Amino acid sequence: MILLAQISDTHFDLTPRNAERVATVLGYLERLPRRPDAVLVTGDLTDSGTLAQYEQARKVLSTDIPMYVLPGNHDDRTNLCLGLLDAPAPEGPINQAVEVGGLTVAMLDSTIPGSGGGALGERTYAWLDRLLDRTPAHAPVLIALHHPPMPMFSTVVDPIRLADPQRLEHLIANDRRILGVLAGHMHAMGTTLFGGRPLVVAPSVASAIGGAWEVRTPGEVPIDYAPDPSVLLHAVDDGRLTTVVRTVPMGGRIAVQPC
């Protein structure tokens, strides 16, 4: 079994609140009897993409579990590379291929600089084609990106989801190696099908955003800062993706049922 942890939308903003929430989640993962093989962070690491926010993220995200990040619409590609990845400023999208125990994770940059919405350009599709061409015929593959490619009944995120997803959907539907798609952006967990495969959207570590059924007045953002942070645990075994959500209590674990 390959075990991946996915956290998303950490929104480091130089305040201690979100940093403490991320540190609590990472502490939970590090103490697991069976630790994840890798942690995926699916975008919006920072709240406004400043170098100072990436410096805060760098300190908090320090762990000996291998960690891989991709940008979200609140991120800045250049500052992400300089402040967190120790890489030169990119000329285009930041796409990464992650190999974990025979599993390939294609980390796709779906951001459009200056826009809240997402898209995958020709450079990213060409990169993904090359990656799939060199991936063994029977090796499992996961796709990860920030913007969900399907409507998720969110009045906040649906208008700024992945644009023109048909090409990606067709690619996934016609490649049996692809087990599923992982996304963030929605500040809530959601699942549906995309290209006949599971689409799993991770909750935010920073806050929760309610669905269309929680909107009281037009334009309201049904945001909730009360819930404890959550992490997704993805088990890949025997050609199957299984996902479990775990809420991590900020007050610590209680192992005995209270009276």
Average pLDDT, rounded, for the chain: 97
Residue 82 pLDDT more than 90?
yes
pTM, two decimals, is 0.97
The answer to whether the beta carbons of residues 230 and 245 sit under 8 Å apart is: yes
Residue 255 pLDDT more than 90?
no
Residue 258 pLDDT more than 90?
no
Question: In DSSP terms, which residues pair with 192 in a beta bridge?
Answer: 199
Q: What is the mean pLDDT of residues 237-254?
A: 95
The answer to whether the beta carbons of residues 182 and 6 sit under 8 Å apart is: yes
Amino acid at 1: M
pLDDT for res 259: 83
pLDDT for res 204: 98
Residue 36 pLDDT more than 90?
yes
pLDDT, tens only, 220-232: 999 999 999 999 9
Residue 252 pLDDT more than 90?
no
Kindly report each contact of residues 24-32 with a partner whose C-beta sits within 8 Å and lies 24 or more positions away, as own/partner.
24/229, 24/248, 24/250, 25/205, 25/229, 25/231, 25/248, 26/60, 26/61, 26/63, 26/65, 28/231, 28/246, 28/248, 29/5, 29/63, 29/65, 29/231, 30/63, 30/64, 30/65
Q: What is the mean pLDDT of residues 71-82?
A: 97
User: Which residues in the chain belong to E strands, given as ranges?
Assistant: 2-7, 38-42, 67-70, 96-100, 103-107, 141-144, 178-183, 190-194, 197-201, 208-209, 223-224, 230-237, 240-247
pLDDT, tens only, 148-190: 999 999 999 999 999 999 999 999 999 999 999 999 999 999 9
What pLDDT band is residue 89 in, cutting at 50, 70 and 90? confident
